[in-house]
Structure 1
Amino acid sequence: MAAEKRSLEQRLNEGTVIVGEGYLFELERRGYLQAGSFVPEVALENPDALKQVYRDYMKAGSDVVLAFTYNGHREKMRIIGKEHLLEPLNRSAIRLAKEVAAEHPTEEALVAGNISNTNIFDPEDVESKEKVRSIFAEMVQWGKEEGVDFINAETFYYHEEAVIALEEIQKQGLPAVVTLGLMGENILRDGYTVEDSCRILAEKGALVVGMNCFRGPATMQPYLQKIREEVDGFVGGLPIPYRTSEEHPTFFNLPDGGCSCALPTETTFPTSLDPLYHNRYELAEWAKEAQNIGINYIGLCCGASPAMIRAVAEATGIQTINSKYSPDMEKHFLFGQDKTLKDHNLAYRTKA
């Protein structure tokens, strides 16, 4: 019999919460989403594909099934000429997430609604602020009506836009997770440091504050440390799984010195990042480090695979549904240690 479903706050009080994000890149890799526009039409066009991604991430250890409505807002739908599908897309993404969350064999997963950066926010334009507020208000209301457990508001590079998101979530009486995307300037575009922004958001009532996307572990972790020192409540960290560096702190301009062909885009972002991944063991080491400094809400963002999420979860001490498929080389014909393996194969391991 499955355990009674705990709230996000209850789970955070009892230990680390694992969050699998990155549906955008994963569904593009699987052939169900267009890179560039990055609009989650999959919720309507290929619902079974979306459910399988939800399922794969949950079985890899995610405590949360995040409804895939990132970029599923009125402005993006206007750009692609499908604004009439906005509400059906949002409701479908949430309903599919709820169906998968209920499949969890030990405790029903949490379902989060999702709002994000609109890319139209302008701190000098009052009209843009009202448009942003309207975008968030309708999406949060649909989430409330569909019965989400909380709202994940993410990837904000303006502090004020994040505050508007939080306010609209609070109007619906839902818990809020608010995470920031820090670009290469190392400061939010309206002049706030990420630690000051997170402290203010936490003081205003966000349950979890922190960072997601844009940066890999190496260039996000120093800022997570600063946030942890400034914030009394729960802190989240969800980096991308790419090898960013001080010279190239985000994945928007990561170079690939080994590429031998001309790329169709100016940089490796978004469809030529493949050689620039961290391996799962590096990501697991980051997860341990994040947990050790007191990050409570841990996951990965764009580019993450289920195997990576599983490695992160296991590194924080969590056995996942699919941990039975975690690597075990004991029986491998070249690299195993089983005594019944053939010596002539084992002797060849260094020459293979």
Structure 2
Amino acid sequence: MQRATSKGILERLRDNGVVLGGEGYVFELERRGYIKAGPYVPEVVLDFPEAVKELHREYLRAGCEVMVALTYYAHREKLKDVGRENDLELMNRQAVRLANEVAREGDALVAGNICNTWAYDPQNVSESSKVVRGMYEEQLGWAVEEGIDFVIAETNDYLGEALIGLEVIKQLGLPAMVTLATVQPDKTRDGYDYVEACKILADHGADIVGLNCDRGPATMLPLIEKIRATVPGYVAAQPVPYKTHEGALTFESLQLENGARAFPLGLEPFLHNRFEMADFARRARALGINYIGICCGGSPHYVRAMAEALGRTPAASKYSPAMDLHPMLGAQVEEKDKVFLGDWKD
């Protein structure tokens, strides 16, 4: 069933131009000690539901308009890794219930969530597609029964897998947001240019298309600009908050000073600050991006900065920085710092 909210995702996009999303639940809950790095399976949904609700609530207060059910990697393929495949239905249902509970505290939407399955095989499309379809159908079947507004199918490495997810979503009669992972320089793992792949998804009925994860703002924005110029409909951008660059297009390829790979546990030196993520939100809006968010590495303080950069005043803005009241700085805050701290709210 669909939830009763004042406006659905497509109405909000039509009326407001921009919807602010926010993800990165798995990374943030791992940092808080509730998810095991490596498998990154959201056992926390069952083991510590209050931790999930609190993170949803922090995102809501920060200005996030969408509570994404924490079902990323809550599919059969990944649950086998931690011996919890028997918890599959309960975990998926509980995740949607938690998202709904917090969404009702504000006027937020609830998104069902499916992702890359690691089961799709472009060398054996016929058989692997059946497996993938079955995984998506059971996850989204439970989500619909618990109540969602739309579905985010994300981090798709293969266009073929993304199209399967899209077909299942449309069969359920729900709005579909489908975003691609961008691990490779310019093409999906099954050989489609990212811009072309987004156009194909839109042509097949995806209501919102775009990119999520892998790339930080610096290496995602040039690609998303091309997508915006090609796709006539709604476009989404949810980068990771890490300083990727031409020499390291993705956060998986970032290296520490000693040459070791930073991903996934040594990424802190590459984190953007809140002002830089606010700047991303402004730049994305200027490009005409409609769904602006954040992915792995995201945190509520980033969402608040992005919301304020978009001209919004969420509940958490009550506690936004006021450096003139700092006991050590106060009136001594230098002019350049005032500009730095002030511009990002414009």
TM-score band by shorter chain is over 0.9
Percentage identity across paired residues of the two chains:
49
Task: Measure the CA separation in 1 of the matches of 2:186 and 2:40.
Answer: 25
Superposed CA offset, 1:227-268 (max 9, x none): 1011111000000000001110111121121x6xx9xxx621
CA shift for structure 1 position 81 = 1.7
- Within the alignment, does 1:307 sit opposite 2:301 as a pair? yes
Residue 114 of structure 1: SS of its match in structure 2?
Answer: strand
> In the alignment, which residue of structure 2 is the partner of 1:270?
264
Superposed CA offset, 1:158-206 (max 9, x none): 1111000000011111111101010133211111111111111111111
CA shift for structure 1 position 79 = 2.3
Q: Counterpart of 1:280 in structure 2: which amino acid? A: R
| Preserved contact between residue 215 and residue 249 of structure 1 (Cα < 8 Å) | yes
> In the alignment, which residue of structure 2 is the partner of 1:350?
none
CA shift for structure 1 position 4 = 5.8
Residue 236 of structure 2: SS of its match in structure 1?
Answer: strand
Residue 42 of structure 2: SS of its match in structure 1?
Answer: coil
Q: Counterpart of 2:71 in structure 1: which amino acid? A: T
- Identify the range of structure 1 (183-192 vs 272-281) with the bigger mean alpha-carbon deviation: 183-192
> In the alignment, which residue of structure 1 is the partner of 2:340?
none
| Preserved contact between residue 20 and residue 299 of structure 1 (Cα < 8 Å) | yes
Q: Counterpart of 1:153 in structure 2: which amino acid? A: A
Residue 20 of structure 1: SS of its match in structure 2?
Answer: coil
Residue 293 of structure 2: SS of its match in structure 1?
Answer: strand
Residue 271 of structure 1: SS of its match in structure 2?
Answer: coil
> In the alignment, which residue of structure 2 is the partner of 1:295?
289
> In the alignment, which residue of structure 2 is the partner of 1:142?
142
Q: How many residues align?
A: 328
Q: Counterpart of 2:265 in structure 1: which amino acid? A: T
| Preserved contact between residue 22 and residue 304 of structure 1 (Cα < 8 Å) | yes
> In the alignment, which residue of structure 2 is the partner of 1:349?
none
> In the alignment, which residue of structure 1 is the partner of 2:72?
70
Task: Measure the CA separation in 1 of the matches of 2:84 and 2:275.
Answer: 41
Consecutive aligned runs of 4 or more in structure 1 exceeding 6 Å deviation: none
| Preserved contact between residue 185 and residue 249 of structure 2 (Cα < 8 Å) | no
Superposed CA offset, 1:116-175 (max 9, x none): 001121111121111111111111111111110001100001111100000001111111
> In the alignment, which residue of structure 1 is the partner of 2:339?
none
Q: Counterpart of 1:229 in structure 2: which amino acid? A: A
> In the alignment, which residue of structure 1 is the partner of 2:342?
none
> In the alignment, which residue of structure 2 is the partner of 1:199?
199
Q: Counterpart of 2:52 in structure 1: which amino acid? A: L
Superposed CA offset, 1:52-85 (max 9, x none): 0111111111100000000001111122221110
| Preserved contact between residue 20 and residue 301 of structure 1 (Cα < 8 Å) | yes
The CA RMSD over aligned residues, in Å, is 1.5
Residue 21 of structure 2: SS of its match in structure 1?
Answer: strand
Task: Measure the CA separation in 2 of the matches of 1:304 and 1:274.
Answer: 12
Q: Which has the larger radius of gyration?
A: 1
- Identify the range of structure 1 (231-240 vs 184-193) with the bigger mean alpha-carbon deviation: 184-193
Task: Measure the CA separation in 1 of the matches of 2:119 and 2:254.
Answer: 25
> In the alignment, which residue of structure 2 is the partner of 1:50?
52
Residue 300 of structure 1: SS of its match in structure 2?
Answer: coil
- Identify the range of structure 1 (21-30 vs 5-14) with the bigger mean alpha-carbon deviation: 5-14
| Preserved contact between residue 255 and residue 267 of structure 1 (Cα < 8 Å) | yes
CA shift for structure 1 position 98 = 0.3
> In the alignment, which residue of structure 2 is the partner of 1:168?
168
| Preserved contact between residue 144 and residue 174 of structure 1 (Cα < 8 Å) | no
- Within the alignment, does 1:332 sit opposite 2:326 as a pair? yes
CA shift for structure 1 position 22 = 0.3
CA shift for structure 1 position 334 = 2.5
Task: Measure the CA separation in 2 of the matches of 1:334 and 1:64.
Answer: 38
* Structure 2: runs of 5+ lacking an equivalent: 334-346
> In the alignment, which residue of structure 2 is the partner of 1:155?
155
| Preserved contact between residue 5 and residue 109 of structure 2 (Cα < 8 Å) | no
CA shift for structure 1 position 337 = 2.4
> In the alignment, which residue of structure 2 is the partner of 1:235?
235
Task: Measure the CA separation in 2 of the matches of 1:273 and 1:71.
Answer: 21
> In the alignment, which residue of structure 1 is the partner of 2:114?
115
Task: Measure the CA separation in 2 of the matches of 1:224 and 1:314.
Answer: 22
